A and B are shown apart, each in its own frame.
Chain A
């Protein structure tokens, strides 16, 4: 048994017994709160500040040159726990985009079913091309199930362009041309 120590309470003074000083101090507190600024965010007009590493709606991004980064390796599709991602790989047309021909693959279709997505961010983590990002969009709604499936076009529209540190494929091409294919 733990030792218990009974604390002696000071007997209440006459003023305290009338409750009036307590009521006055309570009134002061509430009046202070009334004058202080509220904490309400007027939501549809004012938006909260979203931290940088927030996991919002997954999106596909382009590199600063406006080229799509996804090479349809399908790692995200494989890792996605609720199987929300569906990718149909396609080939890059060498005639249409000669400077990207060496990348070889790009998604023909890329669907993310937002009714299944659990915003875990594993797709972003697994992506070797830094092509898929969970960005700051936090409110997504639609009138039908079909509308809630983001197709490739929608994903690029939501994703926009993010800065790129590596320009991996440009370096690879440069290395190839310099005779060092295993850069």
Chain B
């Protein structure tokens, strides 16, 4: 049974990845005053009376065409690459992003004893640590790709990506410490469990209590996922394609999916940590019932928030230009890191005072 759950989750996740690509293409074209993909039509479904035209217009069949294109392209391997690492890199890039979803709670249900339980593949106490640890492995894929390509631009892309990842990892880790100081208060049974963080936000979301943590975490998240304001790994304006310059066909497709897998994971984590997970609205009790329908509603509400965050990622990408490399470094080390330390100290004192005077 766990295998079935895992397969189901992977399929949903990969589906979300491909539709994030579509969302990126559609939102970018809308922001640029274009229309975006609207021609791909699948026989039968695409020819339903009104629905077919609507789905075609929204480009809902486009991910199928994109995926098939990647699959059927000729596999070109440049002669000068280090073959073993060259093939390994896309796998190393995608695997961590897919692994982290094991500890990602995406809803809740009420079990037979009336206790609220998370819907998650593995409900472990160190959930956040696992996510931080494994998702950081994703940078190895990029570094490996840059190095194995044995070419200047991918190499520079890989070096930039690794420097950037290391810089923002620190600020990211420090930004979520106050979150766990708050949620795993003395006497809490949850520890670093992500479910506990969500349960602690039943009254008010953490973005209201700790806006600065949320801001630092969000900025670091953009950097960690290599999304546009911090698009150092790709920098297509000066590095051709960055780390994936020498990659084509399905191997490039894997990198592409990995990027969106990271975006979805990042969005989910931001929703869990700061936007109250599947909790309805701040200060409003959850309207979800105890039955199966309530469970589905909670999952749906969580997904809606994740979709909003994905949209926000895309929206941000097509609004801001890329930072220069030295600006990225100085923002990471000179601004975000001190700010995160200050935020940690401030929140520690605040939580201590709160605990002293209210409990």
Residue A26 lies at the interface, judged by CB distance under 8 Å to chain B: yes
Binding site secondary structure of chain A: helix
Out of B33, B35, B316, B320, which one reaches A36, CB within 8 Å?
A: B33
Interface centre among A23, A30, A36 (most CB of B within 10 A): A30
| A–B pairs, 30, beta carbons within 8 Å | A23-B316, A23-B319, A23-B320, A26-B319, A26-B320, A27-B315, A27-B316, A27-B319, A29-B319, A30-B31, A30-B315, A30-B318, A31-B315, A33-B30, A33-B31, A33-B32, A33-B33, A34-B27, A34-B30, A36-B33, A38-B29, A38-B30, A38-B33, A38-B34, A38-B35, A39-B33, A39-B34, A40-B33, A40-B34, A42-B35
With A23-B320, A26-B320 as given contacts, are A34 and B34 in contact (CB-CB < 8 Å)?
Answer: no
Q: Which of B23-82 contact A (CB under 8 A)?
A: 27, 29-35
Q: Contact mask A25-60 → B, CB, 8 Å, 1/0?
A: 011011101101011101000000000000000000
Q: How far is the CB of B41 from chain A (nearest CB, A)?
A: 14
Closest to A24 in B: B319
B35 touches A40 (CB 8 A): yes
Q: How far is the CA of A36 from the CA of B259 in the complex (A)?
A: 29
Chain A residues whose C-beta falls within 8 Å of the C-beta of B33 in the assembled complex = 33, 36, 38-40
Tally A-B pairs: CB < 8 A: 33
Q: How far is the CB of A25 from chain B (nearest CB, A)?
A: 10
Chain A residues whose C-beta falls within 8 Å of the C-beta of B29 in the assembled complex = 38
Q: How far is the CA of A38 from the CA of B320 in the complex (A)?
A: 21
Q: Contact mask A1-30 → B, CB, 8 Å, 1/0?
A: 000000000000000000000010011011
Q: How far is the CB of A83 from chain B (nearest CB, A)?
A: 42
Q: How far is the CB of A49 from chain B (nearest CB, A)?
A: 19
Interface centre among B30, B318, B319 (most CB of A within 10 A): B319
Q: Which of B96-154 contact A (CB under 8 A)?
A: none
Q: Contact mask B303-327 → A, CB, 8 Å, 1/0?
A: 0000000000001101110000000
Q: A27-B319, A39-B33, A39-B34 are in contact. List 9 more A-B contacts (CB 8 A).
A: A23-B319, A23-B320, A26-B320, A29-B319, A33-B32, A36-B33, A38-B29, A38-B35, A40-B35
Q: How far is the CA of A59 from the CA of B87 in the complex (A)?
A: 60
Chain A residues whose C-beta falls within 8 Å of the C-beta of B34 in the assembled complex = 38-40
- Chain A interface size band reads 10 to 19
Interface pairs A-B: 6 shortest CB-CB: A34-B30, A30-B319, A26-B319, A40-B35, A30-B31, A34-B31
Chain B residues whose C-beta falls within 8 Å of the C-beta of A42 in the assembled complex = 35
Q: How far is the CA of A31 from the CA of B311 in the complex (A)?
A: 11
Q: How far is the CA of A34 from the CA of B315 in the complex (A)?
A: 10
Chain B residues whose C-beta falls within 8 Å of the C-beta of A30 in the assembled complex = 31, 315, 318-319
Q: How far is the CA of A23 from the CA of B228 in the complex (A)?
A: 13
Q: How far is the CA of A91 from the CA of B70 in the complex (A)?
A: 64
Q: How far is the CA of A163 from the CA of B34 in the complex (A)?
A: 40
Q: How far is the CA of A26 from the CA of B31 in the complex (A)?
A: 12
Q: How far is the CA of A38 from the CA of B34 in the complex (A)?
A: 5
Closest to A39 in B: B33
Q: How far is the CB of B176 from chain A (nearest CB, A)?
A: 20
Chain A residues whose C-beta falls within 8 Å of the C-beta of B27 in the assembled complex = 34
Q: How far is the CB of A46 from chain B (nearest CB, A)?
A: 11
Q: How far is the CA of A39 from the CA of B30 in the complex (A)?
A: 10
Chain B residues whose C-beta falls within 8 Å of the C-beta of A40 in the assembled complex = 33-35
Q: How far is the CA of A164 from the CA of B22 in the complex (A)?
A: 54
Q: How far is the CA of A26 from the CA of B287 in the complex (A)?
A: 36
Q: How far is the CA of A38 from the CA of B32 in the complex (A)?
A: 8
Chain A residues whose C-beta falls within 8 Å of the C-beta of B318 in the assembled complex = 30
Chain B residues whose C-beta falls within 8 Å of the C-beta of A34 in the assembled complex = 27, 30-31
Q: How far is the CB of B215 from chain A (nearest CB, A)?
A: 8
Chain A residues whose C-beta falls within 8 Å of the C-beta of B35 in the assembled complex = 38, 40, 42
Q: How far is the CB of A79 from chain B (nearest CB, A)?
A: 43
Q: How far is the CA of A33 from the CA of B316 in the complex (A)?
A: 14
Q: How far is the CA of A39 from the CA of B327 in the complex (A)?
A: 35
Chain A residues whose C-beta falls within 8 Å of the C-beta of B31 in the assembled complex = 30, 33-34
Chain B residues whose C-beta falls within 8 Å of the C-beta of A36 in the assembled complex = 33
Q: Which of A40-89 contact B (CB under 8 A)?
A: 40, 42
Q: How far is the CA of A33 from the CA of B319 in the complex (A)?
A: 11
Q: How far is the CB of A87 from chain B (nearest CB, A)?
A: 44
Q: How far is the CA of A40 from the CA of B34 in the complex (A)?
A: 6
Q: How far is the CB of B21 from chain A (nearest CB, A)?
A: 18
Q: How far is the CA of A101 from the CA of B320 in the complex (A)?
A: 74
Closest to A34 in B: B30
Q: How far is the CB of A14 from chain B (nearest CB, A)?
A: 13
Closest to B39 in A: A42
Q: How far is the CA of A39 from the CA of B318 in the complex (A)?
A: 18
Q: How far is the CA of A27 from the CA of B27 in the complex (A)?
A: 13
